Structure 1
């Protein structure tokens, strides 16, 4: 590879090890002098989405908000306001589930039955109060499997039991739902809500929210939660027609309905549209335009494996670079044996460079710097 003069650095976070901006900084440190570096931290809707957009979009403004976290304790979070555009004249509000109802917020252990998306909905409500024309909602890294009930509750819906009392938060209350009242559910903003996710699972069944993602949230038996989610669908179906404009009778089999413990389903029922997270983030930060004038693009993620081609950040960045004929290189914490790296002009594994995964995790900044030097040498 000839020495590049202009390099775009556009990685995802290395989850649990380094944020996307930290990865960018470490890679940039390894590129030396005489190189123009365009820093474009990326995300796919999960943890780090808010930060990537806030740091990259000109005029973005952070707005603090205190919400009820997934363990029912107050959490200091924020949403981001993006400047007006032709199709969103009052600006766009970006809200991230990870920083309001995310699994990383559970400092006292997992809460598979009690964790909820209430805080996520509270942050969305604050953005609506601000008067934004459009919402962009990242829904990765969820702590709960509540089908979006907590979120919808914060937006005005009521979920009650046989005694007309509000059901318990989280998965725990889903089987008790006997009535859903959507009469006071807030309307979508004028330009709608776009939901960022890389998950295409349905809500129910063997590929559903509980069966596939429940274990990582602490569920030992997904069957009761799957049945409880089915009860939610039945009650939501009966409630349609009472909601504010935009709400609809969501199909639990729609791809992405099972994302974020079923928050995807709740958002679909509200009337939001699910979209590929990496693709939409790239559009918001102007990645394609930056790549068009580059000599090299460097992207990456913590673990690059056989699933990484399915909508993950590196695959999207590589496709965008390929469209304009710019070579792209990959840096990952580890590169699995079954991973296809043929789309990349070069690839570097921190685990290989450091000699072990433990060594790479202990000092990721050092090995990211080494990786960058190796790729452009």
Structure 2
């Protein structure tokens, strides 16, 4: 009886030991799997969040492509036509033969909000001076934008003297530069007043102006754009946005004034002045100190009623267009936002006669230089 009781107890202990081993196995193998399922569920929820985001914003009206479609239309990314901090742009072709530019975002920011923001902004636009978004790809970490193809590339390549020899091209001519400046102005006027919701671009610069076969300018790259209500005159930003050398002073120094459509006006003015000068507005390697900051150099010539000293001015027509662009550009980069014209006023100024324009005050503050990573205010005297 004693032996039988002992045997039964031993069997119980043995069964308990097996249970412990099984439990340990489950802890090692089952729980991580369960954790993996939870993480996977979170990823699915995040992915679903952006699917809903696309749908709620009406973005699905714009065609959505798979990543396989993107590879097919670019012939596996065979021909690169541009590159920037965002990634690369490739030339592609749709099934119907239409040429397209495909921007591949190599470093997606955050969880996709910037991408959704760009697609959302561009899907609301339809204007001859805004690049047309034909579709997009949003698949896990793969993000791409499909635009109409611009055979003459970005304005940046064609306006700087330093590129002429490298590209085998010359000065575009003042009539072309004038028409380009007027086209950019029309595009910004549309964004600020022509849409149901006002769109502030926040990154107007020569690199983001694309040119079609007839040199018609089209504003591109809406990654930093902000959509706001028409009735609001100013907006709030959590951080400065834009490209050094083109950022309005109030964007990085808030006591100057409120952030509004006038911030785009400033960037437009800096862009026009680079078109006029055929050089960067701020040149750290300039031979003379007076030539370091082009807006001050050209403003002094206007004040003294001297020849502007610009290249390829061959007649009175060229001189008038060049002077008009200079004066408008200088009005646009006034430090105080309230002094700057609105974009519809800029259009009127460019269309009018140069005799109707007076020389603006000297702008005494500039955007931080592109050669410096700092975003602090820089004083130019």
With structure 1 as the length reference, what TM-score do the two structures score? 0.26
Which has the greater radius of gyration?
2
The structure carrying a bigger helix percent of its residues is: 2
